[in-house]
Amino acid sequence: MINDSFLVTIERILPGGVGLGHLEGKTAFVSLAAAGDRVRIRVDREKGNLLYASIVEIIESSPDRIEPPCPYFGRCGGCDFQQLNYAAQLKAKADIIRDCLHRIAGLDFPDITIVPSPSEWQYRARATWQLDSSEQTFGYYERSSRNVCDVAQCAVLVPSLQSTLEQVRNTAPEDLPGHLKHLDAVVGDNGVSLAPAFDSFHTSELTLRVKHENYTYNAEAFFQVNQQLLDQIVDFALLDVAGDTAVDLYCGVGLFTLPLARRFKSVIGVEANPVATRFARRNLQQAQLSNAQIVTATVTDWVRSNKNRPDTVDFVLLDPPRAGAESAVIKGILDARPSRISYVSCDPATLARDLKKLVAGGFRVESLRGFDMFPQTHHVETIVHLVL
């Protein structure tokens, strides 16, 4: 069936952002599709009863389908939902969360709220740009490839990052470091920070105000992509929690650590990135919060060690990377038996995997909400509150 073309109807959008179709008793995963599309597809790869396919021709468009405004769409690997109107994007993300929770964790949530991004475009305040010096291309990886798509205009970047992208692209090749393969960029209230630094581009220290807290960071430390939703993210992640002891796992520069330190008598933040922990300590110091300590260690190592671990924990917040929390971390949380957990996730599949373990360990999901931190892509931020 490889490279042959077939007609299918797209039934819905699945986790990973692909469309679901059926063909001759096999399941087809179709990239860049919309639910309700009638399309001719080409099978690119076959694995058992699974077909991985791309669209050759749209026979009948879904009512959800729009014309993607970006000229790089389909080739650039950055966005995969530009073919959907925004309401359809939000619905697809709710369906993706619901599908993962049901299929992986056995949890059913018929109604899932996705908080929309205030901006559907020009929202991305952090980016990683790739450089291929041999081809003289600068932009993002192409879809399913390590080839660099040469991008001059990115529709999802905030204007200051777009301006920086143009400045870097206009830099003479001889002024670029010979070893430069990728460039991290992030925005703050006072400018743009780049890492690694070169020529006139600096790894500047940035500041950003979120809710009532001020944060300092740079491009060497992780900070959230969509800064417009951070106030609501912090509000929902913490709700009305308070008590004696809280633990903030994968704490970064302290986005949640600072407000937690105003609610709990003692807070421990754990983060592996030494640049991030340096900023987290400074952010606490600048906020005059002395009741929180930051540990530079992998969360797994810290959980396995007895050093600096509190005897009792009232609240655990974890915000792991896309791979989710390590098994040892989930076991450590179960052993600590906090009365409440807030799990902040950027991947519904790994979230569902970890929730299954936490629920089996005696916790109950109390509330859940999605946040569209990544418009024009299938990615979605989810926050889940669990109680004993």
Residue 2 is predicted with a pLDDT of 67
Are residues 257 and 137 located together in one domain of the fold? no
Which phi and psi angles does 129 have, rounded to 5°? -105, 140
- Residue 285, H or E segment: helix 274-286
- Whether 149 is catalytic: no
Q: Which pLDDT band holds residue 59 (cuts at 50, 70, 90)?
A: very high
- 158 in a structural domain: yes
Instruction: Decide which of 163, 187, 208 is a domain's last residue.
Output: 208
Q: Which residues contact 90 (CB under 8 A, 6 or more apart)?
A: 114, 116, 372
Helix axes 327-336, 348-360, angle to 10 degrees: 40
- Shared domain for 364 and 320, answered yes or no, is yes
Please state the rounded mean pLDDT for residues 149-170.
97
Between vectors from CA 97 to CA 257 and to CA 242, what angle results, nearest 5°? 25
Answer for the pair 12, 27: CB distance below 8 angstroms, yes or no. Answer: no
SS3 193: strand
Report whether 314 contacts 338 (CB < 8 A): yes
For residues 295 and 380, state if they share a domain: yes
Predicted confidence at residue 3, as pLDDT, reads 65
Question: Distance between CA 377 and CA 156 in Å, rounded?
Answer: 10
Q: Give the tens place of pLDDT for each residue, 299-352.
A: 999 999 977 788 899 999 999 999 999 999 999 999 999 999 999 999 999 999
- Kindly state whether residue 146 falls inside one of the protein's structural domains: yes
pTM for this predicted structure: 0.95
Task: Confirm if 107 and 113 have CB atoms less than 8 A apart.
Answer: no
Tokens 């001759």, residue? 24
- Are residues 241 and 307 located together in one domain of the fold? yes
- Work out how many domains the chain is built from and give that number: 3
Residue 232 lies in a domain: yes
Question: For residue 182, what is the enclosing H or E element?
Answer: strand 182-188
Q: What is the pLDDT of residues 215-272, one digit of tens each?
A: 999 999 999 999 999 999 999 999 999 999 999 999 999 999 999 999 999 999 999 9
Q: For residue 291, give its domain range.
A: 94-118+216-387
Nearest Cα to 39, choosing from 54, 50, 49, 27? 54
Structure tokens at 248: 């903030």
d(CA 25, CA 42): 16
Same domain, residue pair 244 and 367? yes
pLDDT given for residue 173 in this prediction: 84
**Does some domain include residue 80?**
no
Query: How much is the pLDDT for 174?
Result: 84
Q: Give the count of alpha carbons within 13 A of 144, CB side only.
A: 10
Final residue of a structural domain among 187, 208, 229:
208
What pLDDT does residue 374 have? 98
The answer as to whether 79 is a domain residue is no
From 207, 224, 292, select the one nearest 258 (Cα to Cα): 292
Q: Whole-number mean pLDDT of the chain?
A: 96
| Alpha carbons 56 and 62: distance in angstroms, whole number | 15
* Set 76, 149, 251, 346: catalytic member: 346
- Which of 208, 243, 268 is at the close of a domain? 208
Residues contacting 240, CB < 8 A, separation 6+: none
Integer Cα distance of 259 and 265 in angstroms: 12
Indicate whether 76 belongs to any domain. no
On whether the CB atoms of residues 182 and 213 are closer than 8 A, the answer is: no
The reply to whether 226 and 293 lie within a common domain is yes
Q: Are residues 316 and 356 in the same domain?
A: yes
Residue 233 φ then ψ, to 5°: -60, -50
Percent of the chain, pLDDT > 90?
A: 92
The answer to whether residues 257 and 188 belong to one domain is no
User: What pLDDT is stored for residue 183 in this prediction?
Assistant: 97
**So what's the pLDDT on residue 178?**
81
Let me know how long the chain is. 388
Neighbours of 344 (CB within 10 A): 23
Backbone angles phi, psi at 141, to 5 degrees: -65, 140
pLDDT at 72 over 90: yes
| Cβ-based neighbour number of residue 313 at 10 Å | 24
Q: Domain of 60: which CATH number? A: 2.40.50.140
DSSP one-letter string for 147-180: SEEE-S--TTB-HHHHHHHHHHHTS-GGGS-TT-
Considering the domain architecture, whether residues 47 and 102 belong to the same structural domain is answered as no
Query: Is 70 within a domain?
Result: no
What's the pLDDT tens digit per position in 92-139? 999 999 999 999 999 999 999 999 999 999 999 999 999 998 898 999
Whether 229 and 335 share a structural domain: yes
Contact present, 280 and 253 (Cβ < 8 Å): yes
Considering the domain architecture, whether residues 245 and 197 belong to the same structural domain is answered as: no
Q: Residues 184-196: pLDDT tens digits?
A: 999 999 999 999 9
Q: What is the CATH number of the domain that holds 162?
A: 2.40.50.1070
Q: Is residue 166 part of a domain?
A: yes
Q: Which H or E run includes 336?
A: helix 327-336
- Judgement on whether residues 258 and 162 belong to the same structural domain of the protein: no
The CATH number given to whatever domain includes residue 248 is 3.40.50.150
